[in-house]
Structure 1
Amino acid sequence: MGRKEEIFHFLQTTKESYSAQEVAEKFQLDRTNVSRYLNELYKEKKIEKGNGKPIKYRIPSILHNYPFRRLIGADGSLKVAVQQAQAAILYPPRGLHTLILGKTGTGKSLFAECMYEYAKDSKVIRENAPFITFNCADYSQNPQLLYGHIFGIKKGAFTGADIDRPGLLEKCDHGILFLDEIHRLPHEGQEMLFTFIDKGEFRRLGETESLRKASVQIIGATTEIPESFLLETFTRRIPMTITLPPLKDRRMEERYELIEYFLIQESKRLNETVYVDRRALSALLLYHTSANIGQLQRDLKLACAKAFLNYKSLQIQYLHITQMDLPVHVQKGLLDTKEFREKMNKLIGSDQEIFKFHERKNMEETVEREDSFSLYDVIERKLHNLHQDGRSEAEIQKEILVDINQYFNQYLDQLPVSNVNEVVNEYIWGVTERIYQFAEQELKRTFSKKMKFAFALHLQGTIDRIRQNSAIYHPNLNEIRKKYSMEFKISIEIAQMIEQELNVEIPLDEIGYITMFLVSDVEENMYHQEQLVGIIVMMHGKSTATSMLQTVQELLGVQQGKALDMPLSMEVGEMYERVKNAVKNMNHSKGILFLVDMGSLSSFGNLIFEETGVRTRTISMTSTPVVMEAVRKASLGRSLDDIYQSCLQLFDYQSSTIKSRGKSLKKAIITACFTGEGVALKLKAKLKSLIGNRDIELLSLQFLNRQAFTEKIAQITEQYDILAIVGTVHFQYDDIPFYSAIDIFHLQHCSQSWQLRKMVDFRFHGQVLQVFSLQFLSR
């Protein structure tokens, strides 16, 4: 939705008048541009001007009472339906009975409500006239009750009919009766209804003599197609038939408006701004909805719920919907991106990566929480993901232990122990030494200095969390307690030592983490690789993937890997089915790594995981060295995550040498986020603490529009030698390295200055500048 449409939408939601300056301040836009938008809307007769100074604009008063404006598409795909509905209401003397046709979820009930509101606004019925909704399907198995509800019941008509009961026709006199699923009326009930439609007369169930009269406009709704024999009689006897189109037949602009409307509703409920990344929005715009608007609303609610869960449980700063938050049938919409790319780019632009949806008012910014020690994040993210997958507690415990062991192994390998005193509080280190002296004595086991160092960092982070009243939660405390009873008992005593030494109260869940430090060496080799990770190379072209994989296999002397070529004439859906079948025929217990070149192939990994449960990772823009690295590591029995990280590190290493931008230019690192300067400034502060006294400028930028951001960087490169871009949204400019904000925020205290000294290793005087990725250096 463009700025002009946003302003028009804002004016539609209020009866107030606004000047160009007020609108500009509301949207934080330039007044000149806002004035132009308002005048264009005025020329299009969508808004009206006031006569005073300053000139104020508003929606014409007649439109404020126009009920059909509630309907998205009232001037588009629903225009004919709205005109028919207006004619049905206004037709003298009391309107036309109407049948609304449409598939499930097309908005038939809402449309009927709009007809009722229009009838009141048009003075066809009085302001307090009744509007009653009745679903015929609810009583289709009990015809007597169905007739009784609609037409009323005479006392004694059947056993249990102890009193006279008026029906809906009497209760709805001088109003509108909406009969949903009207085709479910049995034949006898249809004849009774048609008698009323023709003559305005009816009898209660059980009456034989007197006729009753009522002035009621009938609006029926059905999901049956017009040609259905069930509707043949209805379409012949009911004069007005209105058809509501399915969502797939509506314009993409209207679908975007529906998405926007539903997300703003969720934003109001959650009192949070909802951010949606481009791929997620693309999927929502393109996927097939069997239940139309109703399904779109349900899928958006589900996506918001998942994003909100991540936002709360994982302490993510923003409520951010990504592709992975969408159900798999929604993600499949990405398979049609190529076909609709031009239309989508015209609608949402080609350079915007993040879209913001919120109630039209100022909202508080969420305060970011930074953790001192990333082990907690590892546990919380893994726990969430495994619960999402429906894993059992035993499986969850096993996987989390494996991840923690891998984490410890990588973490301990990179710790520069000689610099303990630079990064760990001296008193904390003393407490750690006493703790491990006690543990070694009790457990008859020795621990390496690196293990002690890791625990000291953990303890330092734990104390910070406790003093900040941050929760500490261990997902498998009982399992740890049972499996490692001796270590757990020792950990309780260690907790008491910590409480005495540091004057804090250690929660029970923290004892689980202490236990894991004591048993990490024991668990180190418990889970060995028995099977190999599957490697699938997928590329566009008749033999591109096959040729690349064969080259790698010949060089390495192995047969590991499978190549799938996608000729340019092949449909994306057909290729997806080929890949899915290939995965099913592979030994995929250790997961699958997809190495792809570009485009829709990049989406297959997530879709395969959602549909089959097979763990997947995907690397795009694959080259022969990356395929070689993946096949080599897979042949050695390395884990999926290990191979994936290794390939990413190779990418970073290949792009590590960049051109010197001149001797006289000052060095700089750009920090960027899509919500303004908040996170960028936090990144700036984080990086400042890492680079210390180095003569490097830190520049904070906003990333909302890719083109504008690109132009801004182009300007900056005239004045600065850009070493790197660090941000929340991936962005590549020329050969300047990009680093994720998550990597920066999650750097361990022990290695911040050490890693940065290696991350930015440059030679002045016009020689080669090298920027190494954080992942590569942590290998």
Structure 2
Amino acid sequence: MKTAKQLVYDFVQQNAYRNEKGIDTLAIANELGMLRTNASALLNELVKEGKLIKTSTRPVYYRVLDNIRDNEEMSFQTLIGYDGSLRKAIQLAKAAILYPNQSLNVLISCKVGCGTTSFAYAMYCFARENGVIKKEAPYVKINCRHFSKNISVLDNELFGIGHDLNKSCFMKAKGGVLFLDNVDLLDAKQQSQLYTFLETNIIYSEDGTKSKECKDIFVIISQSPQSNMQFERIIPVIIELPELKDRSIKERFGLINHFFSNEASHSMRSIEVTSETIRALLLSDFDYNVKELKFEIKAACANAYVRVVRDIHQNIQVVVNDFKNQVRKSLIKLKNNHIEIEALLDSRNVLIYDQNDGYQTIDTTKHGNDMYLEISKQYNELLELGINDHGISDVITTHIQNLFKKYNYLKSYDSSLNLKQLSKIVDSRVIEIVSHFFQTSKKELGKNYRTNVFYGLCLHINSIISLKESQQRITNDQVVQIIQDHPSEYAASVQLASIIKDEFDLDLPVHEVALIAMFLIETEDQTKNNPVLLYILHGETTASSLRDTTNSLTQCYNAYSYDLALNIDTHKAMEEIKDLIMKIDKGQGVIVIYDMGSIKTMLETIEEETNIKIRLINMPITLIGIDIARRCSMESDIDYIYHLTHLEMNKMRNYEEKLNQVIVTLCHTGEGGAIQLKRYIDQYSKLNMKTIPLAISAKDELIHEVSELRKTYDIHCFVGTYDPKIFGIPFIPISKIFENSQEEIDRILMFEPISSSTFNYEDVYQYLSEQFKYVSISKLKSILPGIIDELNTIYHFNEDQRVGLFMHMACLVERLLDGKQSVPNIEKQKILSVFHDEYQSLSKIFKPLEKAFHIIIDDNEMTTILMIIKRI
């Protein structure tokens, strides 16, 4: 009995004569009594097996492969317009390939997006099918546009790494086809080397000392019509591909059908497109021709896919509003082409592209299904964060409007950006990706971003990729707030994250994407009322060089400098620095990085005289250099100097001024509250820290007063009614002091957790009272929580560890009261030896428990407790 596939094949073979084009899916399904989808699936299997071929028309027609008739035509028949606008180009291509003795090299001249890649690949297939090259012959393609920012990498691709000619693209393509796309982007030296090869079939190394002959190679190159290069002098066959606007309405309709069919196949959903949408696309002009048409359709399908992402059985429905305004406006031109367009649409209101009838030709992108998976992934991630459907819709809708742009690098980068310096510390791929993202985001979001946002993004993305940190730097609440309040910026950041995943195989979590979005949220010029940076370093240009480098890399231009000459009078230097600080201060103060000497004293004096906030950061690089140079002149052992310097630097890092620690009590009005709080702390605290009361509500005045205190004291913390949030000094609210017992005050002041009042053990006690025979629960309540809290103060347990240890200790007491012996612990000697001091401490902590229940916790049990605490 014949299979369904054999029945389909036989039917096509027997009935194809009815129509020269072949038979469509619907006719086959009706004749054989099959579902249309099943017939379509079987027909596509037969095409893959090489038994049938299908047309690029709509509807699709199938017929049996006629080796005599089709062998020559099959490759070019995959191209829409093969019998129309591409007819002349195909004839030239065939003539070049089939030229006697050896194929003639070909120059393709066309504007961006006219289908160069598809045409070149079809030439390769035609050459294979006609035996001009072997079936396994290589096909090597290099798109020079991809290397426009890195000529050295392009050199390696073209002529071999380290001038190894065997690794050149010419040797890789030997016996096959070499396709060089956008050759008008080559520099003068690369052009010269390519000219030489095309004239002689010989490639030379850069220094001319090495050469290789490559006769057995068919070269296809492409350039724009405006190119000044003279390849036509040495390439005999020149092929011109038409722009989309020069193609017939029928061919444009074929391209539109082709791209929608591809999206149906990729999304695994049938796509329904309104006739109004088809009309608009047929009448639209696209600057980047066929490629832009493809991306517009991809973006619209993604936009429509979001609406049905939750219903896997629902078709994707594309309407004209899924496209940008330019496409919608094109409908005003309908009057001029009405008759021709309506003949194609045949009065259909909706065109359906079946997912099983989606046909594949040459797809130059490595994506496809990924786009729809990304949309689903984003939807699920946002849903898990608790964002409502409306918020998700805003984010995803904006995201998919931009998503297709990650497949398109046609736009040129902003040449005004000074990328040369940035490329020294940032991966060139990062700069290229962020450059494109930066430009498209400015247009999509309608915001005029400052240049330093671009530089900040480059530096931030580079650090993510280099460090690959997984630590979450913003909370989930902050993530939700960013997504809800700024869906457009977040969606743009999702687009960047997807590009990073493709390029670097790094999947950024939602919180990292939200962090990127923060770069896009702030758009106002914030150079006013911000602190500024000032370098003050010894030497003629030391500080100014660092200033220029900082401003160049950040593009913030908020760094300044003062080069402190070695022979300048100190008083004069201080006056000049004072004038500079008064000039550059924006009202929020100056952060000064300095190296050594009396600079600190000068700056402290200037701060007192001008009342400008000055914060000092000492980087003693000059002092370290002087010390190393002095040692080098005295010692001959480099390792001795190296290690001695490290010792000195470690001492410098670890050095802290031994100031007395103080606690500062605060209140907004009057000293009474601050003084009472001071007296309470002094009476009950045993830390022996001095307590100083301050009653200052004006922040500037408080900063000045605290700055004075810091010259004499090390401020341990603020305690009071408000947190001033200055100098990074920790704050303890007054409520925490009075809501806990007087005995807990030192734990609070030392930031130790107070847990027994917050954890409710009642459920645990209820369970234990039902299980235990010997332990008095009331006695356990009075003793064990205090012991657990004392251990928690030392080891900082989380809740699970705290409850787990509590249960272990309670069960241990029951077991010992039941007279059961401890199980020997084989790790006892090792554990007790390594943690001897902690063993001693635990023994003291457990004494009240042993005394209350008249038990002895032996070394085996102590070892087990230590292993629990240390998570061994």
TM over 0.5: no
Higher normalized contact order (CA 8 Å, seq sep 6+, divided by chain length): 1
TM-score, normalised with respect to structure 1: 0.39
Q: Name the larger-Rg structure.
A: 2
